[in-house]
Each structure stands twice: as C-alpha cells, then as structure tokens.
A and B are shown apart, each in its own frame.
Chain A
Amino acid sequence: MSYIQNTDADRAEMLGAIGVRSFDELLEPIPEALRVKGVLALDPPLAEAALAAHLGALAGRNRPAAGAASFLGGGIYDRHIPALVRYVASRSEFYTSYTPYQAEVSQGTLQAIYEYQSLVCRVTGMDVANASMYDGATALAEAMLMAVAIKGAPRILVPRALSPRYRAVLASYAAARGISVVEIPHGADGLLDGARLESSLGEKTAALVVAQPNYFGVVENAGELAALARAKGAVVIACVDPVSCALIAPPGEYGADVAVGEGQSLGLPQSYGGPLLGFMATRKEHVRRMPGRLVSGTVDIDGKRGYVMTLQTREQHIRREKATSNICTNEALCALSAAVYLAALGEKGFREVAEQSYAKSHALAGMLAGVRGARLPFGGPFFQEFVLELPEAAAAFAARASAAGILPGIPLGADFPELGERAILVAVTEKRTRSELERYRDLLAGKEAGR
C-alpha cells in the first residue's frame, strides 16, 4: 500500500521541470559509495485489508486489563472514558494539525490548550499550567531541573514511597545533570518519615518532592511536609494524582511551588503506558522558569479575542542552550483529551469519580482485611489504592487470579524488597463493581465462586 499519489507521468513531468534527466541526478551530493545497494530488507508491503488483519492478530495476542476486573494502578488506571473524549480527539482538525505556529489558523488548538491550562490550574489550585509534558515522571524530572535552577543547589529529596518508575527516570536525569537525589523513608504507617525529612533538609537542598497520595496510596500530611521544606528554603514540588485533588487539598492549598503529575486518569486509555500526559503547574512568580509551551489570551488587530503561544523566550528555539528545557513537541492531543474529559465530567462528575474510587477501594480493603492471613500493613489513610499483605506470594496469587479474570494488583517485592514478596499494591477505581470486589475477596479466601 502506497500513500504516494503522483504517477510515473507526473514524476517525468516534474523531473523535466527541474531540469534533470533522472532522479539519480538529484542524488549527486551523496557520494556513490555511501548509498544503499539494493532494497531494505523489510517484510513485503501489505494491502489495507491484510494490514488490518495482521494488526488485529497482534492485538489479539494481548490480554488487555481493560477486558478484565483490573486492580492494577501504580500511576496508570482503568477508568470510564466518555465517548465525547474519543470523538473530539479523533477529529482530524485536531490530530492532523501541529504546534500552532500560525496562530491565525490554529485558534482551535490554541483555545483548547488555554482551556486545558485553566482546568489544570483549577484542579491543582495553582496559578499557571503549561501546555503539557510527556508524562508524570518526566514532568517531575523537569520540575527537579526547574527547582535546581531556582535554588542553584544540586540536591533534592524524594520519598522512597514515590513510584519506582518515577525514581528511575529522576535518577537518569539527575545523573546527567550532576544532581544528588536523596531518598526519605516512610514510617510504619506508610507516611513519609517527618523526622528523617527534617534531618535531611539542609541549606543545600533545592527541593522536596511530596507524593500525594504516595505510591502506596497513603495520603500524606502534605501541608506539614511543605511547611518543613519551606522553612529550610527548599522548593516544594507536589507530585499528585489529579483525581485525588477532587477530594484532598490540592497543591495550591498547601503552598506548593510546582505541581506535577500523570494525567492519564483524565480520559486517556492505558495503552501499555503511552502516550501519557505530564501536567505541570506553578505559581506566578516562577512562570518564567517553567519549561514547556504556554498559551495566552490576547487580541488581534481588530480587537477581537484570540490566543497565541507566549513567553517563548524561555524556549529552546529562541534561547537554545540557555532555555529552561529542551522540550518542543509535547502531548497536545492528550491535553485536549484531558480538557474534554474534565468538561464532560464537570464539577460534580469529577468529584464522583474520586468519591466512588474512594468508596470502592475502602469497601475492598475492608473485605480483604477480613480474609484469614491477609492484612493491610500500613495504617495511614488512603485514597483509592492500598498495600495488601497476602497469605501467599503475590506473584503466585496474581497468576492464579489472572486465570480467573482478575488482575489483583502490582506485586511490590521486586521494587520494595523490604515489604516482602507477599505485598501487593491494589488500586480500585470507579469502574470496578461490587461483584468484582466480591470475586476478588472470594478468590483470596479460597472460594472459587468468582469463576
């Protein structure tokens, strides 16, 4: 299948107009010896029907979580997605356009980004949000670079109870930039150890990362942690689940300097972990330090309201090596999806997503804690995700459950050996039903009724 429309006759005419006898004359700048001899050894081309069948077969070799009772989370969640989100994001006016360099013919994308920025500000309680980052982990890494630039101190504190994936991405960026990342442990309740935090905060600390809720689902005393960090002059970076912000005090309420997080929960499918949506918001005073694109409202020469990209002197195409970041293409279509999602759910619907996730996760935690041999090791309050200690090895249980159509959570032993091989991270979103929770309980209790 070729998507080229010109014919041999077209090409002959065009080569004539160019003034060459053959295409090869146009390759004159490329030394003969460097050119590919023969044809690239790729599989032969497929016609549309055969291609669709091939991809259908590959998709069919997956067993997607979305088709099971999934309790997998750890940053990516199985949630209801309104049809409206898919409809808008699959309109080609949005998906086949690019960065709005020509503002006059990109007002749709620009206004959508402006609305997205505004929605992120409302959810997080911050002043200014950018047009998006790649994902929550790289958004956090960029926040780290931003904090280090603000403070000029190459050291940041992160909770051990931060997603291990996020810690890994931070470590890569920190190593490249010569930043030291200090891990702060959690106490027996699963909350960040405040005493350890206090003793680790020094003059040379650029930032504290507060994970809210943390990787174990536990709701931190974010306000107290932020106050401790601020007292020592450190920038406070809040890494938050946006859905939790509907219930729990958002970063703006406890004075965070930068709020970042993963926006996949806002209307994006799980898609094996990508594309995702990193969001980043900050306070007005830091806006010129913020990475990424920003859209501003303005007026045209007739005084009509419109939107433009702004503060571009922060960006790489103007500032080159002095830019706040190298980011260029981001996740605009995912940001659009998130904006549509928040508008579709609205004030009440979005709160309901959070409330139902809270209610169902607590219902399940109650059921599972009642099963002999199972317990909840952390006493701290949680939002929608909790650590469960199983009566058996988590991997073995997960395999057994999976065969029964239940994905019971993420075994934690590999990432957190101190929690042991029986620990599993269980997430419960609004999409789960009572009968699914009961099947989980029955399976754990050794009753196979759930089958």
Chain B
Amino acid sequence: MSATIFEKSKAGRRAYRLPENDCPVERIDLPHLRTSALGLPEIGEQDAVRHYVELAAKNYHVDKGIYPLGSCTMKYNPLVNEEAARLDGFTGLHPAQDDADAQGALELMYRLERSLSEITGMSAFTLQPAAGAHGELTGIMLARAYFLDRGEKRATVLIPDSAHGTNPASVAICGFKPKTVSSNERGLIDPAALEKEVTEETAALMLTLPNTLGLFERDIHEIVRIVHAKGGLVYMDGANLNALMGIVRPGDIGVDVMHVNLHKTFSTPHGGGGPGSGPVGVAPRLAPFLPVPRVVAGPDGYRLDDAAPKSIGRVHPYCGNFNVFVKAYAYIRATGGEGLREVSRNAIINANYLLSRLRGFYDLKYPGPCMHEFVLSARNLKRYDVRATDVVKRLLDYGLHAPTVYFPLIVEEALMIEPVETESKETLDRFADALAAIAGEAERSPDKLHEAPVTTPVRRLDEANAARCPDLCCPGDLD
C-alpha cells in the first residue's frame, strides 16, 4: 500500500508558492474567524509528484489495455481532443462573460447540438446535464412538465427489468412510480404483455436501446405505437448509442426524449468516474420545456436565450460540462457521418466476433446476434464452485480488465462485455484467449480462480467490514 498524503506531510514543506501579496492588510477584520487548523498536508513538489505517480501506477486504464465494461463504452480517448480542450480560449472563459466574448464557445455548443440532432433524429438538444443519470432526470422532468402543461395526471413510468438502476432512481426523484416490465424469454419487451401494462396512467416507457443485453428490440415499432396510442411518451436511455450511429435514428422511430452520454459514445474520457456529460434530445412537442438558457444563432452571432416560458428551468448553474463538449465536438468533426456509421459497424462486428470466440466456454442465455455488447453467464462453472467474480478476478491476473459483472440482474452470474470499436482484432483475441483459458482453469484448478487476483497491487478486499465499520476519512492529528 501507499502511505497517504497526510502521512507524508512534514510541517514547513510546500509544493507551491503564491506571488508575494502586494496589497497586505494589517489584520483580518472578520467576525467568526476559524480557530482550528485545517490539517492540510505539507509536502514538497517532488514528493507530491511521486505520491500521485505511485497512485497512478496502481490504476488500470484504457491507455493500458482493453476495458470491456458493458454499457460503459470504454473507447479510446483521442489525444488531439485533450490538447484542444486545454486551449486557454476554452478553459479561461468565465460563464458570466458577455455572449460577445464567448462566440467560439457558443458556436461550438450550437454545432454540437445540431450534430447530436442529426445523429439521433431528435429535434432539439440541451447540453446542460452533467452525466447520463442527470440527463435521465432532466428527461423525466421534461415529461412531467409536458403532462402538467396538458393538464394530464399520469403517475407511472414503465421500465424493463434489464434496465440500469439509474432509470428507476431518476423516475422516483420526479415523483413518478416506476413499474417493472418483464423481459420475455428472448430478453426483449413483449408487445402483447406491454399492451396490458400501458394505460392512460402511463407517463412514459423508459427503455434502453439496444437494451443492456446488447439486443435490439425487434418490435420497437409496435412498442412505440402501443405507448403513443395511450398518450404516453417513449424515453430512450442512450447509454448504448454506440451501436446505432448511422444505422437507426431514435427520433425516426418515434422516441420522444432521450439522453446521450458524451463520455461513452463520443469518446470523451471517463476520468475515473467523471466528469461526464448527458445531453438530452427531444421531439418537437417537448422542445418548449427544455432547460434554459438555449444557444441560439442570430444575425449578430450566437447568444444564450432565457426566454422560454414553459421551460423546466435550469438543471445546471451554467451551460453544462463545457470542456467535455469540446472533446465530443472534436470527435464528431474528426469522424464525420460516414465515420460514425463505421464506428457502430465496427463496434457490432467486434462484439459479435468476441461472442463467437467465447460462446463455447460460457453460457449464453439470450442468443444473438448481438449489437455492440453481449451478456454471458458463468453459471456453467458453478459446478466447480466458481462464480462470475472469480472469473473476472482471475482476468485481472492476466493483466486485463474485467467486464461488468452481476448485471443485468436478469442474467445469473452475468458477464456483460462491450469490447468497443477501437480495439484491434489482436487485442480481442488476447482477451478471448484469456477468458477461454480461465474457463479451463475453473475445471482443472478452481483454486487459481478462488485465490485470484495475486498479481495486483492488493488482493481481494474486505468489503463487508468496510460497510460495517466504514473508514471514510483519514484521522487527523497524525503528527
């Protein structure tokens, strides 16, 4: 383990010095002064660099190897995008500056919104939501405002049992009651069953397309018709948009509101858990409710417009995660329309190829073809007393990152794998070889899996004790 930065602290050391204060004051004349020390560490720059480099070395990351978390779309993060996002013209803007001082930023946001509209077929976008779940919340707020405006009381949002947990959580924040729709034996929504669930009480169906099993809802046309027939809205969770670019536009198939994840589909880095960005796109009838301000183009350039009487208001204090927009916009401009279709085409080919290499070694509950990801089950290894956790911990010993495990909930011992389009065939082969070898090890020497990982900076950690007696804050007064 690494000592904490607090343990490395020694009074009197500094890693940074401010310029001399050229406006000194005699004393600080404020009521309620802080009386206690803060307890911040004191460390020199060199040792600070070494501390963080030591931590960095303990991280797996996309620049090191394949990172096949399902529905996370851990694709390559292009370097030129990082360079562009660091330009002073972008990072140095204050959000209260005049629109005239921010014409480049506003143009970039305008173009990004228009590009997202073209890619998804949605009529208009807001870039405010700071993450996918924030986008979901915003989208459901829009649905709420829409029905309120129509004087309709609708209480329920239908959500398939394969959905990500953020879906019901977002719905609940807005005061709707989430209701689970069971997937059929093919892992899909059954239109006949859905028809029985959809009533005049249904505000929306919230579905992920392709779903978290990596399957395209074959009956999407009928599903949308059923929801619309009762006056409900179709919300699409765009977490898996990487499968659809240039192939299907959600707006064309009747989706009313959706979010996209710039940190998934549009290559912006995941940052160890953010910042992300979750723009929300809507059909024309929901556009009046979008958050303000909106970016509008006029004869004198671009400006932020607050005038929208039906708007739900703000969901972010400013325009959203602007610096992430720079990277996503750069990605779209580098790739182009034909290129984005190639992205999805290759994501689908990579996933199906990996599936073809692995289906002999693990169970496949719902047969393909898959779209950009697929879900295997390690239940065939239970007879060796091996669980999905053991499989993926062993994968870490092979120097590879694990897929998502135990999700979606409807697959026992789930291994949810999304290889993404940027990985080469050789990388996919190495990954498949490792998972195949591990299935063999499960039979021959299951303890290798039970004891894994053994090559990582730490081995399996005691999560139960952490939850019982959490240690969430480094104790003070270490000196």
Contact: A84 with B48, CB < 8 Å?
yes
B18 is contacted by which of A5, A41, A287, A430 (Cβ under 8 Å)?
A: A430
User: Does A74 sit at the interface, judged by CB under 8 A?
Assistant: yes
Q: Which residues of B contact A25 (CB under 8 A)?
A: 369
Complex alpha-carbon distance, A358 and B18, angstroms: 14
A29-B218 contact given A134-B134, A137-B316, CB 8 Å threshold: yes
Q: Which chain A residues lie closer than 8 Å to B49 at the CB level?
A: 84, 87-88
CA of A398 to CA of B463 in the docked complex: distance in angstroms? 55
A109 to B401, CA, bound (A): 15
Chain B interface SS verdict (over half): loop
Cβ 8 A contact of A298, one of B218, B253, B463:
B463
Q: Decide: B1 and A410 in contact? CB cutoff 8 A.
A: no
- Chain B: which residue is nearest A120 at the CB level? B473
List the A side residues contacting B61 at CB < 8 Å: 92-97
B146 at the interface (CB under 8 A from A): no
Contact: A93 with B56, CB < 8 Å? yes
Looking at A182-190, A200-208, A271-279, the stretch in contact with chain B turns out to be A271-279
> Contact check: which of B40, B246, B272, B324 meets A275 at CB < 8 Å?
B324
A17 touches B356 (CB 8 A): yes
Contact of B458 among A134, A247, A300 (CB under 8 A): A300
Closest CB in chain B relative to A290 CB, distance in Å = 10
Residue of B nearest to A133 (CB): B130
Question: Are A360 and B466 in contact, with the CB atoms below 8 A?
Answer: no
Asked whether any CB of chain A lies closer than 8 Å to the CB of B342, the reply is yes
A6: interface (CB < 8 Å): yes
User: Interface size on A (CB < 8 Å)?
Assistant: 209
In the complex, whether B78 has a CB less than 8 A from a CB of chain A is yes
A272's partner among B80, B90, B107, B253 (CB-CB below 8 A) is B90
Q: What are 21 pairs between A and B in contact, CB < 8 Å? A: A6-B349, A6-B425, A14-B425, A63-B97, A86-B86, A93-B64, A119-B40, A123-B38, A138-B315, A165-B318, A168-B317, A274-B324, A293-B273, A302-B459, A304-B458, A306-B458, A310-B466, A319-B169, A329-B276, A360-B23, A407-B94
Taking CB atoms, residues of chain A closer than 8 Å to B461 are 103-104, 298-301, 306-308
In angstroms, Cα B4 to Cα A305, docked, is 11
- Segment at the interface with A among B28-36, B228-236, B379-387, B438-446: B28-36
A246 and B253 within 8 A (CB):
no
CB-CB < 8 A to B353: which residues of A?
14, 17-18
The distance in angstroms between the C-alpha atoms of A125 and B95, with both chains bound, is 30
Q: Mark B467-478, 1 if CB is under 8 A from A, else 0.
A: 100111110100
Are A323 and B424 within 8 A (Cβ)?
A: no
- Interface membership of B341, Cβ < 8 A: yes
Name B313's closest neighbour in chain A (CB-CB): A172
B472 touches A295 (CB 8 A): yes
| Any B CB within 8 A of the CB of A72 | yes
Q: Does B330 contact A (CB under 8 A)?
A: yes
Assess whether B317 is in contact with A115, with CB atoms less than 8 Å apart. Answer: no
Q: B332 at the A/B interface (Cβ < 8 Å)?
A: yes
Checking B21, B78, B321 against A3 with a beta-carbon cut-off of 8 angstroms, the contacting residue is B78
Given contacts A304-B458, A344-B48, contact A270 B92 (CB under 8 A): yes
Question: Does residue A263 face the partner (Cβ distance < 8 Å to B)?
Answer: no
List A364-418 residues whose CB lies under 8 Å from chain B: 381, 383, 398-399, 402, 407, 410
Q: Given the complex, which residues of B lie within 8 Å of A61, measured CB to CB?
A: 89, 103-104, 107
